[in-house]
């Protein structure tokens, strides 16, 4: 029986969302935050992630959403993201900063930038 490739949907800013095969787009940088002592009890979670395809394209995305502990009635989460045509670090950093601002956590953006792979110079 052939393996089924798990697909994920990513919300992008200003354009329709995208569906991609998760295994084809591994995470290259990630920063996460949740309130409280344990993630399973968090009322709110935030993350900013960067995934990269073998052809060099990157998707930078993030969310501010209700956690497993539940948020108050009426809470509205935020999702943001950008699809980049290549892995140029300047474009990636700019996209990370934009996503972090949209999910209302600029420190999370700085942490994600710090998690990017080192570049050879």
Q: How many helices (H) and strands (E) does the chain have?
A: 2, 6
Residue carrying the six token digits 């497993």:
68
Indicate the angle between helix axes 89-102 and 106-115, nearest 10 degrees: 150
pLDDT at 71: 87
pLDDT recorded at residue 70: 87
Q: Look at residue 89 in the predicted model and tell me its pLDDT.
A: 87
pLDDT score at 3 = 60
Q: Is the pTM of this model over 0.75?
A: yes
Q: What pLDDT is attached to residue 88?
A: 84
Q: Which of 30, 59, 29, 34 is nearest to 46 (CA)?
A: 34
Domain ranges of the chain: 7-115
The residues of the chain scoring below 50 in pLDDT are 1
Q: Specify the pLDDT at position 2.
A: 57
């Amino acid at each position: 029986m052939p393996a089924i490739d798990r697909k994920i949907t990513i919300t992008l800013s200003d354009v329709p969302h995208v569906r991609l095969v998760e295994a084809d787009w591994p995470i290259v940088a990630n920063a996460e935050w949740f309130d409280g002592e344990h993630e399973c009890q968090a009322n709110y979670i935030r993350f900013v992630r960067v995934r990269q395809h073998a052809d060099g394209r990157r998707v930078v995305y993030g969310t501010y959403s209700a956690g497993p502990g539940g948020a108050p009635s009426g809470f509205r989460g935020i999702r943001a993201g950008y699809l980049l045509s290549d892995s140029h670090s300047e474009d990636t950093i700019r996209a990370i900063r934009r996503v972090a601002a949209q999910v209302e956590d600029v420190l999370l953006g700085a942490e994600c930038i710090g998690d990017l792979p080192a570049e050879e110079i």
